[in-house]
A and B are shown apart, each in its own frame.
Chain A
Amino acid sequence: MTDTANDIITAEKIAWNDLFNDATFAVARGSITVIITPKEEVDAWLVRLILGFVETDRGEFSIFGAKPTSLPENRLYELRQRIGIVYANGGLISNLKIWENVTLPLSYKGRMNNAEMETLGVQVLKRAGYQGKLMQLPGHTPFHQKKAAGFARAMLMDPELMVYESPLLGLNQEERRAFMATAMQFHGEQEGRTSLFISSNPEVLPMLKDARVITINQGQQS
């Protein structure tokens, strides 16, 4: 399978612990896909699988045409730079201020000067719904604001694949609506961008009407 194939993610008969067996699914390039999982811990595990931190117990898993865990280190880091992850808890680094967290991937790539980064960073934070202080540590920030900062960081990476882990977790109805609306808008901004929502909460489905739904039940997949 090559990187130009239509499916960005393919999983064939993958299994993990006793939580699911023989799950087979594919995520098409440019699509909006929702994976409904049996438990929240499966959401986190699938994210780690996509990023190449863990392997399946059985079966074959590939992303961008490659098995992430078998990639050489440099290529694995290149692959990760093509994926934006919005973690359930924001996934922020506790010893970096919100602003440093959000601009870390941009600053690491070093393709923008400080002024450009500042303009873009402030814009994206506003768009993600972040309303707190920029120069405070994540420890002092409310949960939903951490999530917003993590969302802004992922958007700033301008990824080909955007993965949302437990997107509704910790958000009230209004925040959920705003979050999903921004996610949909971001999806449509670049042709070929893929959005993958991984959630154990089926309440996500009415918010993603045109999405392809994959359900992984405990022990099997449908």
Chain B
Amino acid sequence: MITLLGAWILKQLLTGMGLVETVTHAFSNLLVTLHYGRRPIMAVLRKQIYFTGLESLKIIVIISLTIGIVIITQIISLVGTNETLMGRVLVWLVIRELGPVLTAIIVIARSGTAIATELGYMKINNEIESIEALGIPAERYLIMPRVIGVTASVVILTIYFEIAAILGGFIVASLGWHVSFDKFAQSIFSILTIKELGMSFVKSLFFGLFLSAACCRNGLGVGRSATQIPQAATKGVMQSLFLVFVLDGIITLVSLL
């Protein structure tokens, strides 16, 4: 039992180290790209931001508006119209936790699977070798723009998520229980500090970096069989979800120290 647990921990550590390596390589490649190969790599980066950031925006806004509405409705059903509590709970739940976590989950479901599948398909069709044969490092051309693009998208989508959730909360409070904007805004801003916003930013940054790295690595891990592509996508998604929750716990704990 202990041996199995040890083996599992060791495997997770090795996977974690591999992901850290992918992320650090992405940043070092970003610096190299400023001097060499900028045009095609920036084109891949723009496409990634378009697919992950812009195309997910609609679904993120709809989900976050609904979440804001649900939270405020639950608060009112539990404790009545209490503007101070509404603000506090929205900040605690949405800014600290739900914003970064749910945004990451939506991005994993939408773009994580797409990245792992696309890279897996490219691998079995020898397209990665075709890129390398042109003298273009695949890690610089394929991985770096995906990691940076997904991370930038997660950070920005998290901001949209949080704004839309608070807006959804205000709409339901205002229409249903006639809470004024001033009181609602005051209750939010009285509790909202730089620390809350910083934590939300740090979480979304780390989630973006590690979920994209996990999906890229799993996609590139496909061997020679097409049946490995869906397996890679599933593994990428599960690993990303696991990482998001583990990182969420670690960052929350560290922020309390």
Contacts and interface: CB of A to CB of B under 8 A. Distances in A.
Q: Indicate, yes or no, whether A interacts with B.
A: yes
Interface of A: 48, 51, 53, 73, 77-81, 83, 85, 87, 91-95, 100, 104-105, 107-110, 153, 157
Nearest to B47: A95
A108 B133 contact: no
B135 interface: yes
A108 B41 CA distance: 8
A93 B122 contact: yes
B136 A53 contact: no
Contacts of A91: 126-127, 130, 133
Interface residues of B, number: 23
A126 B118 CA distance: 30
A110 B130 contact: no
Contacts, number: 65
B-side interface mostly: helix
Interface stretch (B31-39, B66-74, B206-214): B31-39
B38 A110 contact: yes
B129 interface: yes
Contact of B134 (A53, A94, A157): A157
Contacts of B122: 93-95
26 contacts: A48-B129, A53-B132, A77-B135, A79-B135, A80-B133, A81-B134, A85-B133, A91-B126, A91-B127, A92-B127, A93-B122, A94-B121, A95-B122, A100-B43, A104-B40, A104-B136, A105-B134, A107-B40, A108-B40, A108-B134, A108-B136, A109-B37, A110-B36, A110-B38, A110-B39, A153-B134
Contact of B130 (A79, A87, A157): A87
A92 to B, nearest CB: 7
Nearest to B141: A108
A104 B134 contact: yes
Interface in B20-40: 36-40
Interface in B99-142: 118, 121-122, 125-127, 129-137, 141
Contacts of B43: 100
B134 A107 contact: no
B125 A94 contact: yes
B129 A80 contact: no
B125 A80 contact: no
A95 B37 contact: no
Contacts of B132: 51, 53, 77, 80
Contacts of B130: 87, 91-93
Contact of A51 (B36, B133, B137, B141): B133
A184 to B, nearest CB: 23
Given A91-B130, A93-B127, A110-B37, 11 more contacts: A48-B129, A77-B135, A77-B137, A85-B133, A94-B121, A95-B118, A104-B136, A108-B37, A108-B136, A110-B38, A157-B134
Most chain B CB inside 10 Å of its own CB: which residue of A83, A93, A157: A93
A198 to B, nearest CB: 14
The 10 A-B residue pairs whose C-beta atoms are closest, nearest first, are A81-B135, A80-B135, A91-B130, A108-B37, A77-B135, A105-B134, A107-B40, A107-B39, A51-B133, A93-B127
A141 B107 CA distance: 32
A16 B66 CA distance: 62
A93 to B, nearest CB: 5
A98 to B, nearest CB: 14
Contacts of A107: 39-40
Contact of B129 (A53, A79, A83): A53
A73 B32 CA distance: 14
A178 to B, nearest CB: 24
A48 B126 CA distance: 11
